[in-house]
Structure 1
Amino acid sequence: MLSYQHIYHAGNLADVHKHALLAAALDYMAAKPKPLTYIETHSGRALYDLSAAEALKTGEAAAGIARVEGWFGMDHPYARALDAARAEGGADAYPGSPLVARTLLRPDDRMVLAEMHPREVAALRQALPWAEIHAADGPELALSITPPEPRRGMLLVDPSYEVKTEFRTITDLMAKVHRKWPVGVLMLWYPILTSGAERELVRRLAGLGDGAVTSEVRFPPAREGHGMIGSGLWVVNAPWGWDKAAAELAAKFRTLGA
């Protein structure tokens, strides 16, 4: 969706949930000596400036990472990604998921990123010149390159859901990719909304089976009238210990009193 700009939402509580558990998964996967492939279908940019007018306008980062960063000790892989972003972009920098991944991947790992917005593609290429960056439809790219080489790896699917049909069609993508790449770690993010628009997606995901695990957290809306009140992650082939990390993070979210 070319109108979507994640800078308005970077560092919100959904990002905290998603990026902390993405980091936990990649940290475990990278501890093993075999190389891996990391793929994203909706990459955005690698680095965000939380002092930008767009981020300040919504206040989502102030209600998000600025509020809860103390949850993560300096040895947590998400904290390492935050430090890497600030070392590169200054005190107000925040890592998008490509930079979270770059922090944890190794030189012999492969990174394949898809993004359609021209400005975001340009930012990705500047920040991650060694990655394979495609100005292309992410779901189509994922279907075309899976199973990848190296075969061991992860796919992150993180749509904006501005196109309402994505709540239905994205489950078809996950099923198709899983059939093509049964050993891949597949991670799908979805919002939890006051409208309940995500419920059909959740029902369809439950019907896919295959031993997937889900992490859902709730939180107060970032501002009056804001429709997102939670965040969900659905994961196939979750790495060892991921469910424990997800449970620990969910307990922290419950302290917010949503």
Structure 2
Amino acid sequence: MLSYQHGFHAGNLADVHKHALLAWLLAYMTAKDKPLSYIETHAGRGLYDLGSPQALKTGEAAAGIARAAPLFDHAHPYLRALAATRAAHGAQAYPGSPLIAAHGLRAGHDRLSLAELHPAEYDALSRAMAGQGARVYKRDGLEMAQALCPPTPRRGVLMVDPSYEVKADYATIPRALGQIARKWNVGVLVLWYPILVDGPHDALTADLRSEMPEIALFEARFTPARPGHRMVGSGMAVLNPPWGMADEAARLTRLLSGL
């Protein structure tokens, strides 16, 4: 149940989709001089090496960020976070969503809370986030979110990015998000999900709409990273998306569909 490690998949097209949209969201929200909370339930290790044997074995980063990065405007907040990470950690470094959040948030102004249950990933996350002002929890992330929500400050983002290696996640996460939404009705709740050839996301998105009828679904389809790979797209379900997010999501969908 704790076997998943994202190092094999870091920098793939699903990461590009979710991280670019997250970076845009945080840039939009921090443009206002009001503090916010960022909570992430499945944080991973935070920092990845795209030159590692794991990344090279799958080739997903080569088919992902390596091809997509030149298509972004250099001023995009996603590329700014990528550049800052590589300036600090080397040319093959890749930021997970915790580092993207840390880059987008304002030190001493915003609150950053992260959960990771996998022991090795938690240790790596703690090292990656040292000095970033983050609270890092070794616990079930949805339990942490239930305990923290509604947070202080109340304005903020919840990022839920599970591996879905526990198949029950497809059924349990919509209910958990619905509970959090009822406690934190002003929060921007974000859930990433994979689009696979056999369609397990169909029941997930139906359950999300049942729990939260107003939830927005932003999906991007792309060519599999290698023959036989089951993932053919990436989805971001967002409750309370800010103005302009649908347009940004549409731009990302067009960008990724062209690769």
TM range, normalised to the smaller chain?
Answer: over 0.9
Q: Find the partner of 1:172 among 175, 195, 200.
A: 175
User: Partner of 2:246: helix, strand, or coil?
Assistant: helix
Please give the alpha-carbon distance, in whole angstroms, between the structure 1 residues aligned to 2:49 and 2:89.
Answer: 8
Q: Deviations over 1:58-88 (max 9, x none)?
A: 1110110011111211110000111011012
User: Partner of 2:60: helix, strand, or coil?
Assistant: coil
User: Partner of 1:61: helix, strand, or coil?
Assistant: helix
* Alignment check: 8 A CA contact 1:19 1:100 kept: yes
Q: Please identify runs of 4+ aligned residues in structure 1 that moved more than 4 A.
A: none
Matching residue of 2:257: 254
Q: Find the partner of 2:245 among 228, 242, 246.
A: 242
* Alignment check: 8 A CA contact 2:181 2:187 kept: yes
Identity of aligned residues (%): 57
* Alignment check: 8 A CA contact 2:175 2:211 kept: no
Q: Find the partner of 2:230 among 227, 230, 236.
A: 227
1:39 Cα offset (Å):
0.3
Structure 2 residue runs without a partner (length 5+): none
Matching residue of 1:215: 218
Matching residue of 1:63: 63
- Normalised TM-score (structure 2): 0.97
Matching residue of 1:52: 52
Asked if residue 111 in structure 1 is aligned to residue 96 in structure 2, the reply is no
Q: Which amino acid aligns with 1:51?
A: G
Asked if residue 144 in structure 1 is aligned to residue 147 in structure 2, the reply is yes
Q: Deviations over 1:200-248 (max 9, x none)?
A: 1011112234422111011111111111110000001112211110011
Matching residue of 2:160: 157
Asked if residue 124 in structure 1 is aligned to residue 125 in structure 2, the reply is yes
Matching residue of 1:102: 102
Please give the alpha-carbon distance, in whole angstroms, between the structure 1 residues aligned to 2:64 and 2:154.
Answer: 35
Structure 1 residue runs without a partner (length 5+): none
* Alignment check: 8 A CA contact 1:146 1:177 kept: yes
Asked if residue 189 in structure 1 is aligned to residue 166 in structure 2, the reply is no
Please give the alpha-carbon distance, in whole angstroms, between the structure 2 residues aligned to 1:131 and 1:247.
Answer: 31
- Cα root mean square deviation, aligned: 1.0
Please give the alpha-carbon distance, in whole angstroms, between the structure 2 residues aligned to 1:93 and 1:76.
Answer: 18
Please give the alpha-carbon distance, in whole angstroms, between the structure 2 residues aligned to 1:97 and 1:91.
Answer: 18
1:18 Cα offset (Å):
0.2
* Alignment check: 8 A CA contact 1:210 1:236 kept: no
- Normalised TM-score (structure 1): 0.97
User: Partner of 2:179: helix, strand, or coil?
Assistant: helix
Matching residue of 2:74: 74
User: Partner of 2:193: helix, strand, or coil?
Assistant: strand
Q: Deviations over 1:154-179 (max 9, x none)?
A: 00000000111111111011100100
Please give the alpha-carbon distance, in whole angstroms, between the structure 1 residues aligned to 2:71 and 2:24.
Answer: 14
Please give the alpha-carbon distance, in whole angstroms, between the structure 2 residues aligned to 1:42 and 1:154.
Answer: 14
Q: Which amino acid aligns with 1:124?
A: L
Aligned length: 256
Please give the alpha-carbon distance, in whole angstroms, between the structure 2 residues aligned to 1:209 and 1:180.
Answer: 13
Matching residue of 1:24: 24
